[in-house]
Structure formats: C-alpha cells, structure tokens
Amino acid sequence: MPAGFIVGAMKNLLFLLGFGFLASHELDAVTQSEWRLLYVLRGLPDELAETLFVALHVPLFALMVWLCQHPRERLREGSRLALAVFLVIHVGLHLRLQADPLYSFHDLLSKALIWGGGICGLLYLLRLWSERRSV
C-alpha cells in the first residue's frame, strides 16, 4: 500500500473516531442533563429543555454528517477541520464547567468520551498540519 493511502486512512480514522466520541458524548449528555448547563436551555422548564436538547441534535448531526461527507472536497475538509477544532475546544469548555454545581460529567465514561474526542481532534489537526507542512 502506498504511504499516502495509509496517512489518508489514519486521518480519516481519527476524524471518524472523534465524531463517534462526540455522538456518544451527546448520548451521555442526555443522562447527565447537560441542558441545565446551556445558557439558552437552562432557564426553561426541565422537561421542555430536555426535549429541545434531544430534538435539536437531529438537524445538528444531520448537518454535520452532510458537511463532513460532502462531495466537494473543500467543503468536506473545511467541515472536518472545524469539527476537529470544536472537539479540542469542547474539552476546554468541560474543564471550565467542572466547578458548576450542576456539572455531573465526573465518571470515567463521561471523561473518556469528552477527552477521547478532544484527543482525536487534536491528533487530526496535527496530522493535517503535518500533511500541509510536507507539501
């Protein structure tokens, strides 16, 4: 196999794993009532906020999948870059929220999903940077 194929496959795997960690984190976020931490939703009654939190993830994930698998390479790669950056920032957001009394992502699974996504995002960005540097 050519080295370029392996490098491309590794970058794609990192993206897919990062996406998987994020999607799984959002499942965990429902069990942790994450909407109570979000500025827009936390002021709403709990039942309505939970419903909106879950329902809004349908178009959000549909849009992410569409953009990150788009046939136009520039749009696809830009979307993947944006998601990788978000995965890294997302770790920082969770670190910042840890002191909030409503924050409940303290168990091993929650931390693994958050940090796993962030690590995949960071490795994806490093792989991308390495590719662009060598060109």
Domain range annotation of the chain: 8-134
User: pTM for this structure?
Assistant: 0.91
Q: What is the pLDDT of residues 103-127, one digit of tens each?
A: 999 999 999 999 999 999 999 999 9
Predicted confidence band at 69 (pLDDT cuts at 50, 70, 90)? very high
* DSSP line for 76-118: HHHHHHHHHHHHHHHHHHHHHHTTSTT----SHHHHHHHHHHH
